């Protein structure tokens, strides 16, 4: 059987003219290789620097005589996809394997993005999500689709790729390090699986950065499946992957965190704090107070149907802010989603604990999960101790979510004017925020509430 080294030697696309490598003498009984491509089947486009096709591969004229089956077999050998060649878009379920509606929706979007990219590779495509979300299957199907369309694509997992490069240093290696490195760095389409699962040695970081920097600067088509989160990557690499001008990110679900669980308070409140149990009469509220409760209920219902922008509920303790925030969570859960709920004083305690040298979890990962949650509910802003550290961390969270315009629900104890100016300014941005003041009194103090007719709001 022909070795991978021989295949790569015959199929590599590293020459800039497509005709610089002299073909070797054919063995007895073998047909002489094409003098133009040396038997690789592909050449670089012969165009000047700056031309849209510069640096891109195109079929050699000899391929006109090759059968479709021969071309596909040659490209699949080059692709390094191996046994995963059996994985095609046709065999994958467009909704994925999960029974959860939200994960099915995410996989369907990723499936469509992968198909569109494989049909016309351009720019970078980044898949994120937990183990088992289907990232590897999508990369394999994309590799096969490229081969079927006659586009040379090279697939490898990052840990295996780095092992191959290390072995290429050995004197007995069939392929030199420089050649293997150039083949990966300059592949017409490169698909890298399990980025982040490799050993982070200085040598590994250097080689990986060299490959990706080269491809980034030339904007060569590249697909990456991330293992873990972006915050776990080194800053130079993370900066590349966060470049929205070149990289399209598709999230197949949030990677589960071993240290971060939903605040236990939400499970106690969720059964009794629904839209149906919210009482717009308040605790003997006057007409204006009852009207503010009706407006707040309506705004919360609308937001829960399709979360967009920020919903900020203000008012005294016990006026119903938390009840409406939890009711929004209940509605999104009914639709198969899991919003992140955080009681602000507890959140700050947890962030402080993450700084401890004995902490079992990463502060950076914890912080990123809060900043990037698809829907975040921050309850009781203003109830925390107003230390400079607490103000700084809360402000950083709000700034990141504000700039990304991520859906957020915030309940504020008292008035916005009681908050630090920088925080209050973000919450007053009318282009993003719907501010809903509640003018009703505390549900828990006196009047009808004292007779125990309603649950805590």
More confident residue, 272 or 34: 272
The answer to whether 330 and 360 are in contact (CB under 8 A) is no
Backbone angles phi, psi at 21, to 5 degrees: -85, 125
More confident residue, 285 or 137: 137
Rg (CA), the chain: 28
The answer to whether 410 and 381 are in contact (CB under 8 A) is yes
Average pLDDT, stretch 4-19?
41
Q: Say what the pLDDT of residue 224 is.
A: 97
pTM of the model: 0.51
The answer to whether 365 and 371 are in contact (CB under 8 A) is no
CATH of region 264-451: 3.40.50.300
More confident residue, 138 or 260: 138
Query: Coil, strand or helix: which one is 335?
Result: coil
Q: Say what the pLDDT of residue 261 is.
A: 55
- How many helices (DSSP H) and strands (DSSP E) are in the chain? 15, 12
* Structure confidence at residue 29 as a pLDDT band (50, 70, 90): very low
Between CA 166 and CA 40 the distance in angstroms is 25
Q: Which of 237-241, 290-294, 335-339, 379-383 has the highest mean pLDDT?
A: 290-294
Average pLDDT, stretch 347-369?
73
Between CA 441 and CA 3 the distance in angstroms is 78
Average pLDDT, stretch 385-391?
69
Residue 201 has pLDDT above 50, yes or no: yes
Between CA 382 and CA 385 the distance in angstroms is 8
DSSP H or E stretch at residue 222: strand 222-226
More confident residue, 274 or 3: 274
Q: Where in the chain is the domain with CATH 3.40.50.300?
A: 67-251, 264-451
Query: Coil, strand or helix: which one is 342?
Result: strand
Residue 419 has pLDDT above 90, yes or no: no
Query: Coil, strand or helix: which one is 3?
Result: coil
Q: Which of 150-154, 393-397, 412-416 has the highest mean pLDDT?
A: 150-154
Average pLDDT, stretch 140-159?
94
Q: Say what the pLDDT of residue 363 is.
A: 73
* Structure confidence at residue 357 as a pLDDT band (50, 70, 90): low
Backbone angles phi, psi at 126, to 5 degrees: -115, 125
| Nearest residue to 138 (alpha-carbon basis) of 119, 161, 120, 118 | 118
Residue 99: C-alpha distances to residues 96, 105, 294 (Å): 9, 10, 37
Q: Quote the Cα angle for 425-430-433, to 5°.
A: 80
Question: Which class would CATH give 67-251?
Answer: alpha beta
Q: Quote the Cα angle for 71-18-27, to 5°.
A: 60
Strands 57-59 and 433-437: what pairing? Answer: unpaired
**262-304 pLDDT, tens per residue?**
666 788 899 999 999 999 988 788 999 999 999 999 999 999 9
CB atoms within 10 A of CB 357: 4
Q: Say what the pLDDT of residue 454 is.
A: 40
Residue 352 has pLDDT above 70, yes or no: yes
Q: Say what the pLDDT of residue 205 is.
A: 82
Q: Say what the pLDDT of residue 445 is.
A: 62
The tokens 């204006």 sit on which residue?
A: 288
């Amino acid at each position: 059987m022909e070795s991978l080294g021989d295949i790569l030697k015959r199929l590599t696309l590293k020459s800039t003219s497509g005709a610089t490598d002299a073909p070797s003498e054919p063995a007895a009984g073998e047909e002489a290789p094409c003098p133009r491509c040396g038997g690789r089947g592909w050449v670089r486009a012969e165009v000047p620097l700056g031309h849209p096709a510069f640096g891109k591969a195109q079929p050699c004229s000899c391929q006109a005589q090759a059968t479709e089956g021969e071309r596909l077999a040659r490209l699949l050998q080059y692709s390094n996809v191996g046994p995963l060649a059996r994985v095609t878009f046709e065999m994958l379920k467009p909704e994925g394997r999960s029974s959860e509606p939200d994960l099915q929706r995410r996989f369907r979007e990723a499936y469509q993005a992968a198909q569109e990219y494989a049909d016309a590779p351009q720019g970078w495509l980044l898949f994120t999500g937990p183990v088992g979300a289907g990232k590897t299957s999508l990369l394999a199907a994309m590799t096969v689709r490229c081969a079927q369309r006659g586009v040379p694509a090279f697939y490898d997992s990052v840990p295996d790729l780095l092992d191959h490069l290390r072995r290429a240093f050995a004197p007995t290696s069939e392929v030199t390090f420089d050649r293997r490195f150039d083949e990966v760095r300059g592949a017409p389409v490169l698909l890298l699986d399990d980025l982040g699962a490799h050993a982070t040695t200085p040598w590994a970081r250097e080689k990986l950065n060299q490959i990706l920097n080269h491809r980034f600067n030339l904007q060569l088509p590249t697909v990456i499946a991330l293992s873990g989160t972006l915050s776990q990557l080194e800053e130079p690499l993370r900066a590349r992957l966060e470049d929205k001008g070149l990289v399209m990110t598709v999230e197949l679900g949030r990677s589960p965190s071993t240290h971060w669980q939903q605040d236990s308070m939400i499970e106690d409140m969720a059964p009794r704090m629904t839209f149906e149990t919210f009482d717009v009469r308040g605790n003997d509220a006057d007409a204006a107070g009852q009207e503010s409760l009706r407006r707040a209920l309506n705004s919360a219902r609308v937001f829960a149907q399709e979360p967009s922008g920020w919903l900020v509920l203000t008012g005294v303790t016990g006026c119903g802010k938390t009840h409406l925030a939890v009711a929004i969570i209940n509605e999104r859960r009914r639709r198969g989603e899991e919003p992140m709920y955080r009681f602000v004083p507890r959140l700050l305690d947890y962030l402080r604990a993450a700084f401890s040298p004995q902490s079992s979890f990463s502060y950076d990962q914890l912080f990123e999960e809060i900043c990037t949650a698809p829907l975040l509910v921050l309850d009781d802003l203003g109830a925390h101790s107003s230390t400079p550290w607490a103000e700084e961390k809360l402000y950083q969270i709000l700034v990141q979510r504000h700039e990304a315009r991520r859906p957020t629900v915030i309940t504020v104890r008292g008035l916005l004017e009681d908050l630090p100016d920088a925080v209050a300014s973000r919450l007053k941005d009318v282009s993003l925020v719907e501010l809903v003041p509640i003018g009703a009194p505390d549900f828990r103090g006196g009047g009808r509430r004292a007779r125990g007719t309603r649950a805590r709001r």
